[in-house]
Chain A
Amino acid sequence: MDQDKRKFFFERFGLTERDLERYLSAALSAGGDYADLYFEYLTSTSISVDESLVKSASQGVSAGCGIRVISGERTGYAHTDDLAPEKILHAARTAGLIASGPSKVPVEGFKEKSARELYPVAAADADVPAKVALAMRADRAARAADPRITQVRASYAEEMRRILIVGSDGTLASDFQPLARMSVLCIAQANGNTVRGSSGGGGRVEIGFFLKEKTPEHFAAEAARQALLQLDAREAPAGEMPVVLGPGWPGVLLHEAVGHGLEADFNRKKTSAFAGLQGQRVASDKCTVVDNGTLPSRRGSLNVDDEGSPTQNTVLIEKGILKGYLADKLSARLMGMADTGNGRRESYECIPMPRMTNTYMLAGEDSPADIIRSVQRGIYAANFGGGQVDITNGKFVFSASEAYLIEDGVVTAPLKNCSLIGNGPDVLTRVSMVGHDLELDEGVGTCGKDGQSVPVGVGIPTLKVDRMTVGGTAPNADPGFLRG
């Protein structure tokens, strides 16, 4: 299998193992501890249906090679989108300028470790009309959902990333990484009120996934529901209160509150609010959080990371105690810890760094109904937009796109969009109940760090945070807020 993947580059670009050794030698010609080459060949297709018309269809190819040289804590990097040998050699020497010293010689002979097969690798560029049909189905279903749906945009986007990685330590890895996603956006109008709702999902899947498992009609119905709900939404409350997070995508809480803060680079540099908290309590004993890159077909999953290391299931927090960081090769070496297979990059133009894969909390024992019943007055947040964290002071925010008031243990009125803000190192210490209903998101997450975007997954069971700041417009003190 991997032989075939590797062959793609060897045949398409006329590469040989000798060439790769030569490039690595050039990269290490001024010294350095380590060098690697990352070849990427990315094809993408995207179809967009708007106002029931196929307004846009596009396809593209981007290919290139990124060359990295590490010398102590220093990284030199150069990339080229011209794969002629002299261009790669030039880039290799440019990257090597970071080092100064006698030249090093890469180890002889590459070793390819056996890797997992977490996703299908069939050619992704087949059958454009079938992809158009998916987007058209979503458009029809959303419009049919309710006469108040006045605008629909439905899109289907997919890519196939083929990579080949070789390192001066003998690393040789190759992978074909498919990624597909449907998105539906609805505008609903009634009584002079205009609102929006959106939905989407996918993963490292083939088109069959959207025909059998998560159909265009599924995403369309969800986007329409989200929009219609907003027609009746009232002002969200403002101030501290209990917050119940629904299962699945609200797991973005973990991604922002603890995930980024546990990336090894920030902890090596002691710029994270979690630096030095290893072995200490950072969550209630009901919380166990993992980062798992080995789940089949998930958006955040990878057979190997972008440094050629196999991905893993890494325990970050175990029963409330901080257990681990997410490492790439550089941080593993500098911190004397194991590489957890979290070295990722957006493309061949980018330096890899520690990144999350699929980050989620394991299921607890509470029933979701009991969790809601336990709240006298607070909010139930079922769905979110994006989030952001300041890893240094630990403050994080994420925006609820579907939320409701909880009044006397019952979920009542839908609320307008509002942000929730908290402090990463202590928010999980306030988790008092954890549901038995763990869900992962439907495959929509994209994480940004230092300008690099990578696909990720998140998940949680229903959980209750005893106290968090809800950023609505109706202050607690306002007696009108409960009655609207």
Chain B
Amino acid sequence: MKLETDLKQLAADVVRRATAGGATAAEAVAREGESFSTVVRLGQVESLQEAGSRALGVRVFFGQRAASTYTSDFSPEGVEQLVSGALALARVTSEDPHSGLPEPEQLGAFSGDLDLYSDDVNALAPAERIAYARRAEAAALAVDPRISNSEGGSFDASSGRHALANSHGFLGEYRRSYCSVAAVPIAQANGGAMQRDYWYSVSRSLKKLDSPEEVGRIAAQRTLRRLGARKVATARVPVVFDPFVARSILGNLFEAASGDAIYRSASFLAGKLGERIAAENVTVVDDGTLPGGLGSSPFDDEGVPTRRTVVVERGVLRSYLLNSYTAKKLGLSTTGNASRGLAGTPGIGPGNFSLQPGTKSPQELIAGVPDGLYVTEFLGHGVNLVTGDFSRGASGLWIQNGELAYPVEEITVAGNLRDMLQNISEIASDLDFRGSIAAPTLRIDGLTVAGE
């Protein structure tokens, strides 16, 4: 039996020491967790990693000046240095009229059961964990003789506890577990170019994890369909994005609607609250209270309860995503989206952020395109959230007469996010969370595909 650190007590103690040292307010976070990771390649265990880690961070205020420190040293001397370092560092920062902790009445925790921790992840024996990775890879290798090589199957498991305390009286802790299984097969046909793709499943409980066999099989299918990919002529055509890449566009929307970008005018959505920013079929919700959600937690990293926020309602921007600082800057209320690392001021993080599904199947969306592109992977980072300019490397399949005809690669997809959101002409029904941000298959018109 392992002795667990009392994280709540530790965080509360750090807050107490900080205020005793002269801070007018303080907030402390304490984390402890363990993780396991293994890769099986060509049937053999390639790596096995196990570790425990912990960290402690504090943010102190002197009136409206703030500073923060963090450490991995939980010894009394380590904690002492953490607090005295933060108190000293606060002398160099500026008075910022909007800084400070959330108001006491804003603090609290979502009261329902969020189903964030499952014992089955921790209880799984190492040999079983390795078997998950091995089974995922074996399933991929078995699909077709053209699956000629592999970067392996993998299984990851972790669990951790997270405590937060502040001098406005907040004290909370929660525990989360996490597991994932993935396969990365490589295919080659007739000495042609190799192709690689992957698939994975991730969950807070083993019970809800897709079977390794299914993960391996989908990974193999995604890889095989890329064989023989070619470039295409440059054209302006309808583009259908599979959920995996649609999610990435939704991630851009999340960042563009984040308070940090808004108050600096560093987003194409700045000042657009209440305006029509997307097609009428677009409704986007952030929900930090989804049971079992990968973005769920009872309270955010400032001790504000998480909630469900409608961000875009039938194309109209209804809410930004805010922590208490950005809310004050904009004259609004926090949406419980504070997210902090160990150091620095809190940023903005998603709960479970998703584009609400439509009714058609993905096949029906594809069937509606006479000549266009189906994107299954983005490459690179070419998105400018200030201007909305969007230009990313892509690969996928060409759609001819409503059917997937042949694989394409070494192309780019470009447009501007302002127009792209307005030009979402179809949204499919296949919403599926594989992270804290999710979107169904969607179609956007008017994009430029650059190739030859």
Bound CA–CA A157/B252 (angstroms)? 26
Judge if B193 is at the interface, Cβ distance under 8 Å.
yes
Asked if A236 meets B409 with Cβ closer than 8 Å, knowing A56-B345, A58-B68, A393-B195, the reply is no
Contacting residues, chain A, for B81 (C-beta < 8 A): 61
Contacting residues, chain B, for A81 (C-beta < 8 A): 52-54, 72-73
- Contact, CB under 8 Å: B265 / A189: yes
Bound CA–CA A417/B89 (angstroms)? 39
Judge if A338 is at the interface, Cβ distance under 8 Å.
no
- Contact, CB under 8 Å: B380 / A475: no
Contacting residues, chain A, for B379 (C-beta < 8 A): 388-390, 395-397, 421
Complex interface: stretch among A30-38, A68-76, A203-211, A303-311: A68-76
Contacting residues, chain A, for B449 (C-beta < 8 A): 238
Q: Which of B52, B96, B391 contacts A419 (CB 8 A)?
A: B391
Judge if B389 is at the interface, Cβ distance under 8 Å.
yes
- Contact, CB under 8 Å: B89 / A54: no
Contacting residues, chain B, for A398 (C-beta < 8 A): 380
Judge if A114 is at the interface, Cβ distance under 8 Å.
no
A397 to chain B, nearest CB (A): 3
Query: Residues of B within 8 Å of A, CB-based: how many?
Result: 83
- Contact, CB under 8 Å: A62 / B72: yes
- Contact, CB under 8 Å: A271 / B149: yes
- Contact, CB under 8 Å: A238 / B47: no
Q: Which of A47, A396, A471 contacts B392 (CB 8 A)?
A: A471
- Contact, CB under 8 Å: B387 / A57: no
Asked if A395 meets B448 with Cβ closer than 8 Å, knowing A236-B391, A418-B382, the reply is no
A215 to chain B, nearest CB (A): 20
B151 to chain A, nearest CB (A): 6
- Contact, CB under 8 Å: B89 / A128: yes
Judge if B208 is at the interface, Cβ distance under 8 Å.
no
- Contact, CB under 8 Å: B49 / A77: yes
Judge if B360 is at the interface, Cβ distance under 8 Å.
no
Bound CA–CA A129/B88 (angstroms)? 11
Judge if A429 is at the interface, Cβ distance under 8 Å.
no
Contacting residues, chain B, for A474 (C-beta < 8 A): 448
Contacting residues, chain B, for A80 (C-beta < 8 A): 51-52
Asked if A61 meets B73 with Cβ closer than 8 Å, knowing A194-B270, A392-B194, the reply is yes
Bound CA–CA A394/B235 (angstroms)? 24
- A323-351: CB near B (< 8 Å → 1, else 0) gives 00000000000000000000000000101
- Contact, CB under 8 Å: B47 / A94: no
Bound CA–CA A78/B414 (angstroms)? 44
Contacting residues, chain A, for B413 (C-beta < 8 A): 471
Chain A residues 125-145 with CB under 8 Å of chain B are 128-129, 132
B188 to chain A, nearest CB (A): 9
Of residues A75, A269, A471, which shows the largest number of chain B Cβ atoms within 10 Å of its Cβ? A471
Bound CA–CA A160/B95 (angstroms)? 29
Contacting residues, chain A, for B409 (C-beta < 8 A): 393, 395
Chain B residues 68-118 with CB under 8 Å of chain A are 68-74, 78, 81, 85-86, 89-90, 92-96, 99
Q: Which of A47, A61, A392, A475 contacts B234 (CB 8 A)?
A: A475
Bound CA–CA A422/B370 (angstroms)? 28
- A22-62: CB near B (< 8 Å → 1, else 0) gives 00000000000000000000001011101001111111111
Contacting residues, chain A, for B342 (C-beta < 8 A): 60
Q: Which of A62, A91, A395, A473 contacts B393 (CB 8 A)?
A: A395
Q: Which of A54, A238, A396 contacts B414 (CB 8 A)?
A: A238
Judge if A416 is at the interface, Cβ distance under 8 Å.
yes
The residue in chain A whose Cβ has the minimal distance to the Cβ of B386 is A196
Q: Which of A97, A98, A399 contacts B391 (CB 8 A)?
A: A399
Bound CA–CA A62/B70 (angstroms)? 8
Asked if A392 meets B448 with Cβ closer than 8 Å, knowing A57-B67, A399-B381, the reply is no
Bound CA–CA A421/B380 (angstroms)? 9
Asked if A385 meets B387 with Cβ closer than 8 Å, knowing A59-B69, A238-B448, the reply is no
Asked if A194 meets B391 with Cβ closer than 8 Å, knowing A53-B96, A387-B380, A397-B379, the reply is no
The residue in chain A whose Cβ has the minimal distance to the Cβ of B381 is A386
Asked if A53 meets B411 with Cβ closer than 8 Å, knowing A74-B46, A77-B48, A392-B196, the reply is no
Judge if A187 is at the interface, Cβ distance under 8 Å.
yes
Bound CA–CA A55/B449 (angstroms)? 42
A314 to chain B, nearest CB (A): 24
- B49-69: CB near A (< 8 Å → 1, else 0) gives 111111101000000001111
Q: Which of B68, B344, B391, B448 contacts A475 (CB 8 A)?
A: B448
- Contact, CB under 8 Å: A56 / B186: no
Judge if B450 is at the interface, Cβ distance under 8 Å.
yes
- B124-149: CB near A (< 8 Å → 1, else 0) gives 00100000000000000000000001
The residue in chain A whose Cβ has the minimal distance to the Cβ of B226 is A393
Q: Which of A55, A58, A61, A239 contacts B451 (CB 8 A)?
A: A239
Chain B residues 366-422 with CB under 8 Å of chain A are 379-382, 384, 386-387, 389, 391-393, 395, 409-416
Judge if B44 is at the interface, Cβ distance under 8 Å.
yes
Of residues B71, B226, B234, which shows the largest number of chain A Cβ atoms within 10 Å of its Cβ? B234
Judge if B236 is at the interface, Cβ distance under 8 Å.
yes
Contacting residues, chain A, for B57 (C-beta < 8 A): 60
Judge if B452 is at the interface, Cβ distance under 8 Å.
yes
The residue in chain B whose Cβ has the minimal distance to the Cβ of A385 is B381
Judge if A229 is at the interface, Cβ distance under 8 Å.
no
Chain B residues 255-291 with CB under 8 Å of chain A are 264-266, 268, 270
- Contact, CB under 8 Å: A194 / B265: yes
Contacting residues, chain A, for B327 (C-beta < 8 A): none
Contacting residues, chain A, for B90 (C-beta < 8 A): 57
Judge if A298 is at the interface, Cβ distance under 8 Å.
no
Judge if A150 is at the interface, Cβ distance under 8 Å.
yes
Asked if A419 meets B380 with Cβ closer than 8 Å, knowing A238-B234, A388-B393, the reply is yes
Asked if A74 meets B392 with Cβ closer than 8 Å, knowing A187-B386, A388-B379, A421-B411, the reply is no
Besides A388-B380, A473-B448, 20 other A-B contacts (C-beta < 8 A): A48-B344, A55-B93, A56-B67, A62-B70, A74-B48, A77-B49, A81-B73, A98-B48, A151-B264, A187-B266, A230-B387, A392-B186, A393-B409, A395-B395, A395-B409, A397-B382, A419-B414, A469-B412, A473-B414, A475-B234
Listed by A's residue number, 8 A-B pairs whose Cβ atoms lie within 8 Å are: A58-B344, A75-B48, A271-B186, A351-B47, A419-B380, A419-B412, A469-B412, A471-B414
Residues of B within 8 A of A (CB): 41, 44-55, 57, 66-74, 78, 81, 85-86, 89-90, 92-96, 99, 126, 149, 151, 186, 193-196, 226, 229, 231, 234-236, 264-266, 268, 270, 342-345, 379-382, 384, 386-387, 389, 391-393, 395, 409-416, 448-452
